[in-house]
Amino acid sequence: MTTKTIDDVQLAGKKVQVRVDFNVPMTPDLKVSDDKRIVESLPTITKIRSAGGAVILMSHLGRPKGKPTPEFSLRPVAQHLGTLLKTEVKFAEDCVGKAARAAVDALKPGDVLLLENLRFHAEEEKNDEAFARELASLGQVYVNDAFGTAHRAHASTEGVTRFLKPAVAGYLMRKEIDYLGRAVADPVRPYIAILGGAKISGKIDVIQNLMPKVDALVIGGGMAFTFFQAQGMEVGDSLVEQEKLALAKHLLEEAKAKRMRLILPVDCVVADRFENDAQRKVVPVTKIPSGWRGLDIGPETVKIINMELRKAKTIVWNGPMGVFEMSNFANGTMEVAKLLVEATHSGATTIVGGGDSAAAIAQAGYEKAVSHVSTGGGASLEFLEGKTLPGLAALDTK
């Protein structure tokens, strides 16, 4: 089955309700500080306007805990969007009720309206039926273009689709499905996944789902040390999830039994304390000194990853290789970002799976130099885990 998209429905003369992900960083004086997610929504908004529809945008921002909170108002986002579109973006003081209804009723074809923060109502996250029905009453077509919230069954992502049809994917949602879907279901080989991050517990399902599908799995970041200790190695004060040692051992045995290449670091950057200005040195992973902790992969590991990626046709990267937030331990993560760019230039499809990986590739300045950077951290992770995303499953299929 294929999810229907905005190209499959009639938009002319319709009021089109679009779930977007405008949960963007704000400055202390309430200005948008990073508009990537807003920019990503522009093709869908432009399509509706050019087709003669009126656009009703709805989103959440921050964690207002179910009540109106001034610092989480979407009004500044409406102003920023207006600047990007070079047109007035109208703003409704609420997402339901009289204010929302009056704003929607006044819309003409080509108009753009942003509703106030959905999470000013506790019913949004509870997927309350009455709230979802009231949201649905505002539009004639529903478009979900918020992949970053597709793993949540909320009123605006799942509940509304029970009362508002057609319910289809926007261009950003379609792009995410195309790239991540192919990587999971039908990758061009060799297919390599690079998984990092602090803890194995956050990536267990991804590892288990990808192991039968990839040609090689590269493990980096803090979770590598749980694998090392599971093999009986000394890791100093490095991060280890003691309760996951048996699982790590099982995964290593499973990879061996299936003759799948599970690649762990061979060297690492260690520090005598968890601070950027700590004393640091590069050591083999077999010689981590007592009292020191691994905070990044080392140069020999980068070379091994480079050799693997040179052969790859599909690469998925999710999770940093070290504590990239500290400049002295960011090199491994930045080098992997650079290797993905080189692989892209050589014809590989390269997918960066949201969250910290997306932040790292942006920090490196390579966002536009890889095939796809996912806008959804938790959503992309759950997609790679093979889970059904409620916001995606709720949409119409062909």
Kindly name the residue from 148, 196, 355, 391 that is annotated as catalytic.
Answer: 355
How many C-beta atoms surround the C-beta of residue 217 within 10 A?
A: 24
Please identify which residue in the block is written with the tokens 């539009």. 139
* Sequence-separated (6 or more) residues with CB below 8 Å from residue 185: none
Kindly name the residue from 82, 110, 181, 378 that is annotated as catalytic.
Answer: 378
Dihedral sign from CA coordinates of 36, 37, 40, 43 = negative
* Sequence-separated (6 or more) residues with CB below 8 Å from residue 243: none
Tell me if residue 199 is catalytic: yes
Q: How far is 128 from 392, CA to CA, in rounded Å?
A: 18
Q: Which tokens hold the place of 332? A: 């491994």
Tell me if residue 37 is catalytic: yes
Q: What are the helix and strand counts (H, E) for the chain?
A: 13, 15
Kindly name the residue from 199, 249, 313, 338 that is annotated as catalytic.
Answer: 199
Q: How far is 169 from 156, CA to CA, in rounded Å?
A: 13
Radius of gyration of the chain (CA): 23
Kindly name the residue from 14, 19, 37, 49 that is annotated as catalytic.
Answer: 37
Q: How far is 228 from 272, CA to CA, in rounded Å?
A: 19
How many C-beta atoms surround the C-beta of residue 163 within 10 A?
A: 16
Distances (CA, A) of 12 to 137, 172, 256: 18, 21, 57
Tell me if residue 281 is catalytic: no
Q: How far is 266 from 218, CA to CA, in rounded Å?
A: 12
Among all residues, which ones are annotated catalytic?
Answer: 37, 199, 355, 378
